[in-house]
Chain A
Amino acid sequence: MTTYGADILDRVKERFGQAGAPVEHAILVLAFAPGEIGAAARALRDEFGFELLLDVTAVDWPDRDPRFDVVWHFYATRNRVRVRVKTAVALSDPVVPSLTALYGSAAIMERECHDMYGIGFEGNADLRPILLYEGFVGHPLRKDYPKRQEQPLVPYREEAKP
C-alpha cells in the first residue's frame, strides 16, 4: 500500500524529535509521556492538519508496568496521512489528559474508554457510562475482569401510582 504524504510524516517526526518513530502499515506511531498528550494533539491538529480524531482506545498488558497503553488515531483529510499516538499509564494512576477541548469527538470515545478500561481523562467532566450502565461493576475489557461475574440488574420499573 502506498504511503501518502511521506514528507509530512517526516516533518511530524522532526517536530516531535522522534526521528526513529516507526511507520507501521502506513501509520506513523508516536509515543509520548501522558503529560505531553495535550500539547502533541494540539500541534498535530494546528500545525499538520490532523483534523479528525478517529479513535480513542486502550490496550491492557497485565504483566507489564505501566500496565495500559492508551491509543489515539488521527487522520489528516488533506494530506491523507494517519498518526497513532500512544502513551503508557500505570494501574495506580490511570489518568491521561482529555482532548475534549480540541476535538468534540473525544467526549464520547473517552467515555467508552473509561467504561471499558477505567482510564480517567483529566478535563472530561462527563465520564458517565455510555455503552455500560449506571451501577455496572468493573471494567470489562481489562484482562483480569472476571468473565463469569454477574452484574447488578436494573429492576423493572414500578407501575405508575395513580
Chain B
Amino acid sequence: MNAPGPVIRNPVRPAFDKASRDDTVIVSIGPSHPATHGTIQIFAELDGERILRADVHCGYLHRGFEKECEDHTWHNLIPYVDRLNYCSPLINDFAYCEAVEKLMGIEITRRAVVLRTLLSEYSRLCDHITCIAASLMELGAMTAFLYLVMIRDYMYEHIADLTGARVTHSYGRIGGLARDLPEGWLKRLEEILVQSDDFLGRVHGLVDRNRIFIDRLRDVGVISQSDALSYGYTGPILRSTGLPVDLRKDTPYLAYAELDFEVPVGIKGDNYDRYYVRMCEIDESIHMIRQCVDLLEPGPLNVDDRRCVFPEKTRVYDEIESLINHFKIVMEGPRVPAGEVYSAHEGPNGELGFYLVSTGGGTPWKVHCRAPSFVHMGGAHRMLEGGQLADLVPTFGMINMIGGECDR
C-alpha cells in the first residue's frame, strides 16, 4: 500500500459506535445487500428486531459527475446526465437540455415539446413500474414482478427502437432531440399501452387488497407531512402525505399545461400510500401519453439555431460552412451565454433540478444536479426508526433510492 496519507480503517464513520443501552446491538447493513437495491450502508441500533436509531450512508456510487461535467462541452456531457437516474434517463436528458436552452434563450419546436412530454411520461411509467416491481419482489410477490418487468422490457426495446439504446439513451439534444420517430413507432406504443393496462390490472388484483401485502405496508415507514417538507421531500413521497405538490401541475413546463391529468395523493404517508400513489400516477401517465399522441403534429424537430444544433450530415459532407459548423460544435461546444439557471422537472422520484453556471464558454463552469434520491436519504432515518428491521426492505423499496442520482 504505497498511497499517500494515513491508513484508513473504515471508509465511513457511523454517527454512533456505542450502544445506548446494554441490551441493544449495533449492526451494519450493506453497503452490498441483496434486499436494498443500490449500494447503501445503514448503521442501525437494534432492540431485538426494532430499529432504535439509524444512520444512512450513501456515496458508494460517487463517480465525480459534477467535476467531470466541467471538463466536457455542454453537448458531450449528455451521456453522463443519462446515468443519473438510470430508470428514467429521458427525463434527466430533457431537464438538463431545458436548463441549457433557458440560458441560451432557445424556444424548442412544437414537435419537440410534445415529443419530450410524451417521452417524459413514458420514462416515468418505466420508472414507477421498475420501483413497484422490485419492491413487490422483495416482499415475495414474484408473479407481479414478472408481469411488470415483462412490460418494462417491451418498453425498453420500444425506446431502443427510437434511441438506439435500451437504458442509457442519450436522446436529448440542446435545441431538440436526436432523431425523429421511426416508422410504426406510435402503433407499437399503443399496443404496449393496451398490454400494460391489462397487466397493471392484474397487479392491482393481486396486490391491492392482499392481506399479506397490506400487513407489510400499511402504517409502515410513516412520515408526517411537516417532516416530509422539512426534509425536502418531493415527488410521490411528499404526495403520499396528502400534499398535491407536482411541478407538472403547479408550474407547468413542456406541454403539461395542455394535458388533462390528476395529481394523486395519499392519506397518511406510509408505504402503502406510496405504492398507491405510484400506481395511480402510472394510470395518469398512460392517459397523458395518449393525449400527447393526439397532440403530435408533423413539423421540424430541432430549432434552426447554428449555435447548438448540428447541421444535417449530408450538408456536412457537401458544404464547407456546415463542416466548420459541425467541427466547432463538436470541438468547442455550443457557446452558452454567461449566467446561471436553476431549472427543475418533476422526476419520477421528485424534483430533479439542474443548477448550471456558465461563463460564456463551450464548457460549463458548474453543473449541479439537485437529485431527489440524495435529499430523500437525508430523512430516511425518520422512516426507519421505530420500525422493525424487516420493514427496512419495503420502506427502502418505496423511497426508490436510485444510486446513480443519489451519489452522482
Taking Cβ atoms with an 8 Å cutoff, the residues of A that contact B are 1-2, 4, 24-27, 51-55, 57, 59-60, 71, 73, 75, 77, 80, 82, 84, 103-105, 107-109, 112, 116, 126, 128-135, 137, 140-141, 145, 147, 150-155
Interface size class on chain B is: 35 or more
**Interfacial residues, chain B to chain A (CB-CB below 8 A):** 1, 3-8, 10-13, 15, 57-59, 62, 64, 66-67, 102, 227, 229-234, 243, 245, 250-251, 253, 339-344, 351, 353, 355, 357, 365-366, 368, 370, 374-375, 377-379, 382, 407-408
20 new A-B contacts, CB < 8 A, other than A59-B366, A73-B353, are A1-B251, A24-B339, A25-B341, A53-B232, A54-B232, A54-B351, A55-B355, A59-B340, A77-B229, A80-B251, A105-B378, A128-B15, A130-B59, A133-B11, A133-B12, A133-B59, A145-B67, A152-B3, A152-B6, A154-B10
In the complex, what distance in Å separates the CA atom of A111 from the CA atom of B386? Answer: 25
Complex CA gap A52/B375 in Å reads 11
Tell me the smallest distance from the CB of B168 to a CB of chain A, in Å.
21
Residues in A with CB closer than 8 Å to B382 are 104
B365 adjacent to A134 (CB under 8 Å): no
The 11 sampled A-B contact pairs (Cβ below 8 Å) are: A24-B340, A51-B229, A73-B353, A105-B232, A105-B375, A109-B378, A131-B408, A133-B8, A151-B5, A152-B3, A153-B1
* Chain A nearest CB, measured from B297 CB (Å): 22
CA distance A109 to B250 in the complex (A): 25
The answer to whether B1 and A108 have CB atoms under 8 Å apart is no
Q: A108-B377, A109-B375 are in contact. Are A52 and B353 (CB under 8 A)?
A: no
Most buried by B among A103, A126, A131, A135: A131
User: What's the A-B contact tally at a CB cutoff of 8 Å?
Assistant: 138
| B378 and A108 contact, CB distance less than 8 A | yes
**Docked pose: A128 CA to B342 CA in angstroms:** 27
The reply to whether A130 and B58 contact each other, CB–CB distance below 8 Å, is: yes
Question: Can you name the residue of chain A whose Cβ is closest to the Cβ of B227?
Answer: A104
Bound Cα distance A59, B366 (Å)? 7
CB distance from A11 to the nearest CB of B (A): 19
B7 and A155 form a contact (CB under 8 A):
yes
On whether the beta carbons of A151 and B12 are closer than 8 Å, the reply is no
- Distance A94 CA – B4 CA, assembled complex (angstroms): 26
Using Cβ atoms and an 8 Å threshold, which residues of chain B touch A77?
Answer: 229, 243, 245, 250
Question: Once the chains bind, are B342 and A73 in contact (CB under 8 Å)?
Answer: yes
Chain B residues whose C-beta falls within 8 Å of the C-beta of A133 in the assembled complex: 8, 11-12, 59
A80 and B250 in contact, given A59-B365, A129-B59 (Cβ under 8 angstroms): yes
Question: B5, B12, B342, B368: which contacts A25 (Cβ < 8 A)?
Answer: B342
Are A130 and B355 in touch, CB under 8 angstroms?
A: no
- A105 to B379, Cβ gap below 8 A? yes
In whole Å, how far is B285's beta carbon from the nearest beta carbon of chain A?
22
- Check if A131 sits within 8 Å of B62, measured CB to CB: yes
With A116-B66, A131-B407, A137-B4 as contacts: A105 and B230 at CB distance below 8 Å: yes
* A153-B66 in contact (CB<8A): no
A2 to B251 Cα, complex, angstroms: 8
Of the residues B11, B245, B407, contact of A134 by C-beta under 8 Å: B11
Contact B8 A134 (CB under 8 A): yes
